[in-house]
Amino acid sequence: MAEEAWLANNHVPGVLSGKQPLVASMDGYVTVGGEDEAAEYVEENGKPWQASPGAIAWLVEATRKWKPRRRRSRVDV
């Protein structure tokens, strides 16, 4: 399950951990799999991750060696 989520957007662990900045959509659209989609995810779902001790560190470590899938499409948010 974690690998499927990571393949959908490999920016989420970096944004959750603070190693990657939040990149907001400037035009109301997000790039599927992009940094702006990761920012949307973290803004909507980051609090439970932060409230779970060790969860973000686990995610970062679990995904550290996985290779990203490249696909970019813009969708209305």
C-alpha–C-alpha distance, residues 49 and 16, integer Å: 8
Residue 9 in this model has a pLDDT that exceeds 90: yes
Res. 7 pLDDT band, cuts 50 70 90: confident
Domain encompassing residue 69: 2-76
Give residue-wise pLDDT tens across range 15-73. Answer: 999 999 999 888 989 999 999 999 999 999 999 999 999 999 999 999 988 887 665 55
C-alpha–C-alpha distance, residues 9 and 54, integer Å: 21
Question: What is the predicted pLDDT for the residue at 59?
Answer: 94
Q: How many domains does the chain have?
A: 1
